[in-house]
């Protein structure tokens, strides 16, 4: 994979760079990403999945200097990326449409996610799965109201901190296509899921893994009766 030296060279030679994916690149650090912030103001998409040597410093710099950023994936960064930089992105990147903070080991919390929801009305894709209980209803309960273009929401593995309070209002999301409520510790009820499936006209896929054997089988049948053609993952 690429290292800092190569990334610096790319950044300095590519002022119109719009898409950068350095996922799984262990040799990329803030020293390589900071020049991207300096030289690539047109950057729109940045993926850092499992890039473990990047911190808030470079993400904050990109947030401040790349105002057209619309896609950010910091999944699997295991606590190196925190609220500090995600808040900067929320404050400076109003065109943000896609953000994934899955597996950030509690580094990203309600404080940052709430600001994303408030400041980024064009948001279409929000993944807060497996965030160690750090993301809760407190930041998500108004996502359906503040982000009317939402198409994808993943709250899997949120340790019971995301409940019906977040999911019930999703019934008003006209564009919601995919919802993942797997492993939510029973806090999202069957009745809520039936309500959302019945009301969301665009919903095509729903993930309900971890809800338990026979009860899950019955729920799958019911959801498919409510909306023929929906794909249910259990």
Domain ranges of the chain: 70-233
Residue 212 has pLDDT above 80, yes or no: no
Residue 205's beta-bridge partner residues?
Answer: 178, 231
Q: Tell me, what's the pLDDT at 146?
A: 98
Average pLDDT, the chain: 97
Question: What does the alpha-carbon distance between residue 81 and residue 58 come to, in Å, rounded to a whole number?
Answer: 10
Question: What does the alpha-carbon distance between residue 77 and residue 147 come to, in Å, rounded to a whole number?
Answer: 25
Residue with tokens 């809520």: 192
For the ranges 25-39, 75-89, 122-136, 209-223, the lowest mean pLDDT is seen at 209-223
Residue 1 has pLDDT above 90, yes or no: no
Please give the backbone phi and psi of residue 190, each rounded to the nearest 5 degrees, phi first: -60, -40
Q: Tell me, what's the pLDDT at 213?
A: 60
- Output the six-digit token pair for 142: 């108004």
Q: Which residues contact 92 (CB under 8 A, 6 or more apart)?
A: 63, 64, 67
Q: Tell me, what's the pLDDT at 211?
A: 79
Using CA atoms, how far residue 38 sits from 52, 53, 99, 145, in Å, is 21, 19, 22, 35
| 189 secondary structure, DSSP code | -
Q: Tell me, what's the pLDDT at 162?
A: 97
Tens-digit pLDDT profile for residues 89-123: 999 999 999 999 999 999 999 999 999 999 999 99
The enclosing H or E element of 118 equals helix 110-119
Question: What does the alpha-carbon distance between residue 15 and residue 88 come to, in Å, rounded to a whole number?
Answer: 22
Q: Which residues contact 179 (CB under 8 A, 6 or more apart)?
A: 152, 153, 154, 167, 170, 196, 203, 205, 206, 207
Residue 220 has pLDDT above 70, yes or no: yes
CATH says 70-233 is which class? alpha beta
Q: Which residues contact 150 (CB under 8 A, 6 or more apart)?
A: 123, 124, 125, 126, 143, 144, 170, 173, 175, 176
Please give the backbone phi and psi of residue 88, each rounded to the nearest 5 degrees, phi first: -60, -45
Residues 158-162, mean pLDDT to the nearest whole number: 95
Residues 191-201, mean pLDDT to the nearest whole number: 97
- Which segments within 102-195 are labelled E, that is strand? 125-127, 152-154, 178-180
């Amino acid at each position: 994979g690429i290292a800092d030296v190569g990334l610096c060279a790319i950044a300095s030679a590519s002022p119109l760079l719009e898409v950068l994916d350095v996922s799984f690149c262990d040799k990329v650090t803030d020293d390589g990403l900071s020049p991207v912030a300096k030289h690539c103001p047109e950057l729109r998409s940045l993926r850092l999945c499992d890039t473990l040597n990047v911190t808030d410093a470079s993400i904050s710099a990109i947030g401040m200097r790349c105002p057209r950023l619309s896609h950010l994936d910091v999944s699997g960064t295991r606590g190196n990326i925190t609220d500090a930089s995600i808040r900067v992105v929320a404050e400076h990147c109003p065109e943000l449409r896609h953000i994934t903070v899955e597996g950030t080991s509690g580094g990203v919390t309600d404080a940052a996610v709430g600001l994303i929801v408030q400041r980024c009305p064009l948001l279409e894709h929000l993944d807060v799965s497996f965030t160690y209980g750090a993301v809760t209803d407190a930041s998500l309960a108004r996502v359906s109201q503040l982000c009317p273009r939402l198409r994808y929401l993943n709250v899997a593995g949120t340790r019971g901190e995301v409940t019906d309070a977040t999911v019930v209002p999703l019934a008003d999301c006209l564009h919601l296509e995919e919802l993942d409520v797997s492993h939510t510790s029973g806090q999202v009820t069957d009745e809520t899921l039936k309500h959302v499936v019945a009301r969301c006209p665009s919903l095509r896929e729903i993930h309900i893994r971890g809800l338990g054997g026979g009860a899950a089988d019955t729920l799958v049948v019911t959801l498919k009766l409510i909306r023929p053609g929906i794909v249910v993952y259990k």
